[in-house]
Amino acid sequence: MSAQSSTSVTLPDAREAFEHVSAHIAEHGIEPETLGSAHHRFRYEGSTIQLRHDGAALTIALEAPSPNMLYFLKEAAALHVAEIDPVAAESLRWSDQLAPVHQPVNFSELTLIRRSRPIRGVTRLTLEADDIGSLADGGLHVKLMLPADRTRTPVWPSVAANGVTKWPKGDDRLHVRYFTLKSLRPEIGEVDIDVVEHPGGMISDWALEAAPGDRIGVMGPGGGHPPEQQEGLLLAGDMTALPPIARILESLSAEASGHLVVAFPENADPASYLPPTALELRTVAPERFRQEVLSIVQAIGAERRIQNAWFGGEHANAQALRQLFKRDFALGQGAQLSVAYWREGRRGDARRETD
């Protein structure tokens, strides 16, 4: 059953807000269905966004396949209105929010059950929660979070009346990083999250030190959907990208074809971590991957036509490969994705939310 919500907000120039939000959605490659000069409809991954204006008010109607996705859409809409009119955005109220909401619908606490090491350099956290099934839909990635000051009792995110996440500030601020759901077992309430070991990273250190019963906050899932095009694939990534690559491989059909380039520990069997695949596999030692991946991918593209490309890894690599995918491979929006999971010289995640 789909989740729905709507809101209407009065603005000095509702038409300007209508055009601003419409343009921002279109920048992500989601073209509008024009239902009238003042009415647009957007469809994206099972969700529908409708925008209307009457000159004085902007009306936003949302429909999503899950409460988690609806939460993301509501927050995004409120933030875009805030870019036009912060005061009006504060007054925004959603039709499904009839009572105060204390925590985001997609937030929960996970409890560590056990720790293992599937391959050298990776710690696997097996965690449990009352409703692990809620993590099964909406994407591959979640935000893990701990108090930035580990001596403090956690103060978790809350929800403002307009649907925007309120992150704790000051001494209560949270350290938030993205990770991939490696595997889920809803029938027994368990999830595995793999963490690449790097001393000094707060969540990496927690993963190595935490004892069964210790708890960590999680929000999501979102993002990281498998590619729709399954011929002429190119998947590439360093050790931080192994979990999403494994999830993507699980989703591919037997007819999928293409290339897989990954950093993998020497003298280790990729089949011990990655699902079986018909993609042509090339492994590179982790310490050489950053220097070699661009030339390897260029060579593959020179020999084969790449129709869909995906990369995950260090920030500079991600930028270079994004340009390569667009310029040399001529891949448009929806046919390529290059994600930075970390940045050389910066602790933690390249896509940091808060410290």
The domain segmentation of the chain, as residue ranges, is 3-91, 107-222, 233-342
Output the pLDDT for position 233: 96
Output the pLDDT for position 55: 82
DSSP letter assigned to residue 272: G
Q: 107-222: which CATH architecture?
A: Beta Barrel (2.40)
User: Rounded to the nearest 5 degrees, what angle is found at the Cα of 72, between the Cα atoms of 70 and 78?
Assistant: 100
| CB neighbour class for 131 (10 Å; exposed up to 12, middle 13-18, buried from 19) | exposed
Output the pLDDT for position 350: 40
Residue holding tokens 């909401």?
A: 101
CATH class of 3-91: alpha beta
CB within 8 Å of 147: residues ≥ 6 apart: 153, 154, 155, 172, 173, 174, 175
Under 8 Å between Cβ of 127 and 112: yes
Structure tokens at 35: 């239902």
The distance in angstroms from the start CA to the end CA of the chain is 36
Beta pairing partners, 309 = 234, 336
What DSSP letter does each residue of 295-355 carry, written as one string? HHHHHHHHHS--SEEEEEEEHHHHHHHHHHHHHTS---TTSEEEEEEE-TTSSS-TT----
Query: Strand 158-159 vs strand 165-166: parallel, antiparallel, or unpaired?
Result: antiparallel
Output the pLDDT for position 11: 93
Output the pLDDT for position 270: 96
- In terms of Cα–Cα distance, which of 327, 325, 321 is closest to 341? 321
CATH class of 233-342: alpha beta
CB within 8 Å of 272: residues ≥ 6 apart: 118, 119
Phi, psi of 24 (to 5 degrees): -65, -40
pLDDT < 50 positions in the chain: 348-355
| CB neighbour class for 236 (10 Å; exposed up to 12, middle 13-18, buried from 19) | buried
Output the pLDDT for position 134: 83
The pTM score is 0.86
Q: What's the chain's length in residues?
A: 355
- In terms of Cα–Cα distance, which of 216, 210, 207 is closest to 174? 216
